[in-house]
Structure formats: structure tokens, C-alpha cells
Structure 1
Amino acid sequence: MNSSSISARAAVFGTVVLALSACSSAPQSSGTATATGNTYTWWDPYPQHDASSSWAKRVGSCGQQAGVTIERTAYDTTALTNQALLAGQEGNAPDVILLDNPAVSTLADAGMLTSMDEFGLDTARFDKNLIAAGELDGKTYGIPIGANTLALYYNKKILDAAGVDPDSIKDWASLNAALKKVKDAGKKPITLSAIGTEEGSFQFLPWFWGAGAQLTQLDSPQAVEALDLWNTWVKDGTAPNSVISNSQNTTWEEFLTGEFAFAENGTWQINSAAKAGFPTGIVQIPAKDGGTAPTPTGGEFITVPVQKDSQRYNVTKKILECMTTPEGLVETGTTFAYYIPSTAEGQQAILAKEPGLKPWVEAVKSAKGRTSDNLGTDYPKISEALWTGVQKALSGAATPADALKAAQAQAKQAIGD
């Protein structure tokens, strides 16, 4: 979920907003889905990667292997989903759309995507926890080209000075003990993003799920425990008041000042962390009582819109297979520098090239799709209620319990339960 790059991106589904990040709004290429027998159309949310980029060449090479030319159009994710829905209504959808994973349910629910069973693509090799984000009502409507997720980056210099061993962080109690040592040493303990957008929900979910809470019950005792944790951090100065308005990029900029011991952020900051002016590392976000908390998955799915001419699927299948071989997943992962392959074979292959990605592979293996549990198109409504509740609590407008009680009522009304 990177505000300047791809990761877990913004998606606006008509009136449903999943504002994970924002890119340039101008589409690259023609913006039309018109295709001929030897030309296949491909839409993706990467306008920052122009026709000369490694990504564009990656897409083009899969077309060449399938014996066709790919006409690629890149949109800001906000525009992409809206444009896709419009194209579906007009019967002019492209052959392939690469979508941020929560958008898959929206387009599937609109009836514009071909299920992978109908398409004839075997999905068994993809990690179940990752592909679940593309499932709706028992059918799979897309395949993940990779995944990214969250962890806690740390400033080793600050931890060493405070006498904190990052390996000691196993649960909330040990994390709080580490944060207290940092604070007692006169340093800033942690920063994160609690902004009133999808980014805020994205960052809160590891703590919410790590407490044992479920998105179907926002005001459960476990959910209140998670919000109490964040609220306590803000009230006692463990986390700065700025978290209420912090985007993930802003949080990262705070961390790069070298003043914070920890920052919650994602796989997409790997390269930036390596270039920081201080040594860094990561620890998994701990669950309340120990173990790794489930973190939300970011990343795109390849989807196949319904075509009037079903014969086109034969070539489209070759394009998708090219993109998702173990070697193809590694090439995509290294092209973007922070994408973890979505199959066990792909993960082993990327670790052979980049052993330092091991903690992130582990994080992705324990991650969870936001639309999993068959939440589908209900997720954006639930998420908006959740981030609204988090904002109310952290701003002092309501107690965590009251804020989440209101959030649950808002979610139930929004989804019609």
C-alpha cells in the first residue's frame, strides 16, 4: 500500500472507496479496449511504468510468447475500476485487467469477470490465503501475481541504545515492554498510519485480527482490546498524535528521520529501508497472545473479463500462464522490488535470488485477504465504518468501546443487515 507506487492501491467502486494509494490519473496508451485477432488488450494500475519500463516489457514478452501483440493501457486505480465497470456495461471490456485484490469481488459481483474454472486455469498451486481475496461465493475470479503486506520496521541504532532485542518481541506484552524501554531512553517509540481512509484500516487490521476480532463484529471485546492498544499509545505519547492524519508514506518519512524506533509499513519500503541513514530490520507484527498476527494482503490479481468471442480465452490463458510460472512470478517480484510470489515454488525461487526477503515471505504466508471470509463487496463498507471508529477513538471523540459500537451499527446499516 504505497501512496507513490503500486502495492495495495486505491480502488473506487462506483460509490465504494478503497483509497489505498494514488498514482497519476492520466492513462498511458489509448484507453480503449478495442482489440483485433492478433492484438490483445491489457489494463493495469501502473501509470508510473511507461512503455519503456521493465514492467511494460514484461507484459509485452508474455504477449509475444502467446503469438500476439498486447496493447497495454495503464490507469490510476481509481479510474481503472470505474473504467472497467463502464467497459463491462458497454460490452467492450479488455482481455485482461490487473486489479487491486479488493476490487475483484466488485467486478465479479457485477457479472463482468470469467471464473477461473470457466476459463480453465488451475488455481491449486497458489497459496490459499492469497487467492482467497479473489474468491466470491465459492468461485475464484482472478489469480494473484504477487503479494505484499505489513511488518514492523525498526531502527537498530535506537534499539541497541535502549537495550531492546528485536527477537524478544513475541506478543503485545513484550512489544509494549520494548516500547517503554525506548521511551525511557528518551526516544520516540513507534509511528503508524491511522488516517481516515483504507490505509488506516489496512494498518489497524493486524492488531484487530491479532486480538482475535472478526470483521463481521466490529465491536467485539477483542476488537475493543485492539483499539485500546492504539488509543493508549497515542494518549501516553508512545505514538505521535500525527498518526491520526498519517498516510503510510508520511509514516515512512517520519521513520526515515531516524527519530523513531519502530514504524508499521510494508514490503514496498524494502529498498528505501536499505538506503536509510541507519541500520534497519523488521519483526513480524505480533498477535496479542503470541505468534504472528494475520496481516492484510496487498497486491494485484489478473482477471479475465467476459468476452463475446470465447475463442479469445485460448490465447488469454497463455498470457496468464506466462505471467504466473515460478520464473514469471519472480520476474514480476524483482521488477517491482517488493512483490512476494504467490506460489510456494515462486517463493523458493525468489529466496534463491534474494535471501533477505525471507521475513517478508513468512509475513505473506500468514497474511489474509481483506475480502476473505466471503465478505466480497461488503468489505469496503465495513472498512469505512472501522476506520471511522478508529478515528473517533484516537481523536478523543469517543471511547474505543463506544467508537466501535457506533462502527458496528454503521456497518450493519451500510450492508443492509
Structure 2
Amino acid sequence: MKYRPLARSTAALAAAAALAVAAACSSGGDEADADTHTWWDPYPQHAEDSAWAERVDACGEEAGVTIERTASDTTDLTNRALLAAQEGTSPDIMLLDNPAVSTLADTEMLTTMDELGLDVSGVDENLLAAGVVDDQAYGIPIGANTLAIYYNADILTAAGVDPASITDWATLTDALAKVTGNGDKGITFAAIGTEEGSFQFLPWFWGAGADLRDLDSPEAVAALQLWTDWLDAGYAPNSVLTNSQNTTWEEFLTGEFAFAVNGTWQVNSAAEAGFATGLVQIPGMDGGAAPAPTGGEFIIAPAQADTDRYDVTRQIVECMTTPEGFVETATTFAYYIPPTAEGQEALLAAEPDLEPWVAAVQEAKGRTSDNLGTDYPKISEALWTAVQNALSGAATPADALAQAQSDAEAALG
């Protein structure tokens, strides 16, 4: 923390070394088939006959191979990837949640995009950063999602609130006072004691100018004080302490709340709500759009002993990451924003209503950016614990974050 070098523990170094040796022997299985490329992704909800599966198969056909696809949930996929590296059975291609890319890269089990011969210069730097370790890119984002503030237009109109007037924390708080004063509920968000809680707090944390290596800075305290003040004033419900992003959205869909912090993935649901909705960017403390954290997966290539396989891998990755490919992914999932200017332009030509989300993604920031890499999960846990302690009244924001800083430093050793 505090920008001082942090040595990894002996156990972590030993594990990384063991995985590096295993990765050097990985070949997609002991008897890798040149006509088949293995593919793992975190989308078990998309079956073999889904549009997504057909898209993956089409990229394999274009490269002249059959793709053998395996889908697992995000947490299981990361664990399976680490185990496969040890056993020498890594797939040729994976899609992995962006904060986990640095974890796998740290074990030396991934190829770099340079090694694959892929040019990443056109990828938005703020989105690519989550997969960059020591100036090397270990993957390409297939798209990105992020957070903004949905609003109930009927409630705002009744309270005389113009959403265009919400430009900073003060104007947002003033809007909350007006809607609650008019008899409606204010804002709901997810402050649950998990990564989702950190994910939703980060725009306010970064929007104050705070840094994840300095959790108890005055800027960080200001962000947590904002949320605490909203609960104390009745502008946000106590349910935020246990709200996931899904339950937050369920609260918003009741039509009782003026605002909800949620993500790109709720675009279709918002359009089908029983009331008129709109969107504003999460504001920075003193104005402008706050950087919100990026969600979404990277396409990565585990190291293979048979490097001849990389040529086909490169072709498949290229198929997935052309401007047309990015748009196809975006429309298949209904919420991904392409990570390149060309892809974003193509998406907006087809879906102009997504312009606010393109703007939000352009301002977004990877959670493992700023060279946090594998330090991020430990820092995040300390942060979400501080949020819980402050909002529950167990500690003041300043004391909660001071403890978080101490805990993070101890965890990072």
C-alpha cells in the first residue's frame, strides 16, 4: 500500500513457479487434436443451440477447426483454469472475467498478445488495462459493461427534478431530498459484503479522487461519508447492506425508487419496466462523470507446448475481435459495449439508444488497473468490509477506512 513495493509470500511464489512449469507443458490435453480447438467460457446459461454457441462455432469453422466448448460459472472457471495449468490440460482459448486475468498471468500460464501476433493498439486503453501486467497484454476484452444511475422518470417529474441537473454529488443529493420530500423513495444500490459491494462503491470512491492503495485518504472518507449520510437521511434504505445488484434492481422495478445504481445488463429490463426510465452517469464529487469499474470478459490464450496451435488460436481470436465481431457479441449478450472506437461506432449505428452506455464505458476503469494485479482482491475485501462497518453504524467512515487500510497492508504483507 502507499505505493511501496510489496513482495509476494514464499508460498505464492512457489505456487506461481509450479504453475509456470505446468504451463510450459500444457497442450490442451495430452493428445491434442489439430482439427479441434478447446474453448472455455463462463456462460453456462448459453446452451449448445444458443446464438452465442453458434457464434463460437462459426469462428472455429472460419479458422478450419471444430471448437469443443465447455462452459462453467465464473468462479469455477478460474479455479479450473489454475488446476488445468498444473495438470497440463489447459484449453486453447478461454474467456475470463477481467479481474482474474492478472491472477492467471502472474502464474506465467498465459501467452501474451505479442506472442500470438495480435495488435491491441486499437483497444481502448482504460479497458485493456485490466489485462496488462508489466506492460504486456495478456488478452483482449470482448466487450465491457459498467455502472450508471437509472431513474424513474415519473417520480422525478412529480418532484420537479430535471435529470440533466444532476452533475455532481451536491445536485444528486438535492434531487434525493426532493423526491423523498415528495413521498417517494430515493436511491438504492448494492453495498453487500462481497465483490459486488466494492464494484458498486468504486465509482464514488474514484469519483472523489481516491486511490485503492490509500484506502483511508480524505477522498476515500468523503465517498463513504456520502453513502452513510444518505442512509442517515433516509435517502437510501437499510436494505443496501444486504442488497446484491439483482435485489437492488428488483427494488427499483417496484416503481417506488427514484434512482438505482446498476449496470448495462439491465438495459432490456429497464425498457420493459412498468414506468418510464432514463439514465444519468454517476457523477464525480465535483462534477463530470466518475470512473466506474469495468465488467466483462477477456479472451485469453493459455500457453501450449505445441506452439503450432497458436496460428489457429490467433485466427479465432481475430474473428471474435473484429469490429463486426465486437458488435455481434454486444447484440448477442444485449449489454456489452465494444472496446474499440470502431466497434463502438458500429454498435451505435445499429443501436443509437446505447450512447449513454458507450460514454460510461469510455470513462470506466479496470479494477486491477494501476498495476494492482493480484493485490486487488485483498484490497477489495478490506474496502467492502469498511463499507459494511460504516453503513451499519459499527464505525465512522474514517475509522472504518483506517481499519481497512491496516487490514489491506497486513494481507499484502
Q: What TM-score results when the alignment is normalised by the length of structure 2?
A: 0.93
Aligned residue number for residue 6 of structure 1: none
Alpha-carbon separation, structure 2, partners of 1:382 and 1:33: 38
- Identical-residue share of aligned pairs (%): 71
Aligned residue number for residue 21 of structure 1: none
Q: CA deviation at 1:120?
A: 1.2
Aligned residue number for residue 62 of structure 2: 65
Aligned residue number for residue 18 of structure 1: none
For structure 1, the 5+ residue unaligned runs are 1-13, 16-30
Alpha carbons 1:389, 1:406 under 8 Å: kept: yes
Alpha-carbon separation, structure 1, partners of 2:64 and 2:184: 59
Alpha carbons 2:327, 2:343 under 8 Å: kept: yes
Q: CA deviation at 1:111?
A: 1.1
Find the residue that maps to 1:111 and give its secondary structure: coil
Alpha-carbon separation, structure 1, partners of 2:30 and 2:250: 39
Find the residue that maps to 1:264 and give its secondary structure: strand
Find the residue that maps to 1:72 and give its secondary structure: strand
Aligned residue number for residue 88 of structure 2: 91
Aligned residue number for residue 157 of structure 1: 154
Alpha-carbon separation, structure 2, partners of 1:411 and 1:254: 33
Q: CA deviation at 1:45?
A: 0.2
Structure 2 counterpart of 1:57, which letter? E
Alpha-carbon separation, structure 2, partners of 1:391 and 1:32: 44
- 1:290 matches 2:292: no
Alpha carbons 2:30, 2:88 under 8 Å: kept: no
Task: For residues 305-350 of structure 1, give each alpha carbon's deviation from its aligned partner in whole angstroms, at most 9, with x where no partner exists.
Answer: 0000001000000000000000000000000000000110000001
The structure with the larger Rg is 2
Q: CA deviation at 1:34?
A: 6.2
Alpha-carbon separation, structure 1, partners of 2:353 and 2:131: 28
Structure 2 counterpart of 1:277, which letter? G
- 1:199 matches 2:196: yes
- 1:339 matches 2:332: no
Alpha carbons 1:33, 1:93 under 8 Å: kept: no
Alpha carbons 1:35, 1:41 under 8 Å: kept: no
For structure 2, the 5+ residue unaligned runs are 1-10, 13-27
CA distance change for structure 1 residues 222 and 80 in 2, over 3 Å: closer, same or farther? same
Structure 1 counterpart of 2:89, which letter? N
Greater helix proportion: 2
Alpha carbons 2:208, 2:220 under 8 Å: kept: yes
- 1:367 matches 2:325: no
Structure 2 counterpart of 1:121, which letter? L
Alpha carbons 1:152, 1:282 under 8 Å: kept: yes
Aligned residue number for residue 393 of structure 2: 396
The aligned length equals 388
Alpha-carbon separation, structure 2, partners of 1:345 and 1:59: 22
Alpha-carbon separation, structure 2, partners of 1:170 and 1:44: 38
Instruction: Say what the alpha-carbon RMSD is for the aligned residues.
Output: 1.3
Alpha-carbon separation, structure 2, partners of 1:312 and 1:396: 56
Give the 4+ runs in structure 1 shifted more than 2 A. 31-35
Alignment counterpart, residue 116 of structure 2, candidates 95, 99, 119:
119
CA distance change for structure 1 residues 34 and 368 in 2, over 3 Å: closer, same or farther? farther
Aligned residue number for residue 143 of structure 1: 140
Alpha-carbon separation, structure 2, partners of 1:91 and 1:222: 46
Aligned residue number for residue 108 of structure 1: 105
Alignment counterpart, residue 128 of structure 2, candidates 119, 127, 131:
131
CA distance change for structure 1 residues 261 and 111 in 2, over 3 Å: closer, same or farther? same
Find the residue that maps to 1:152 and give its secondary structure: strand
- 1:238 matches 2:235: yes
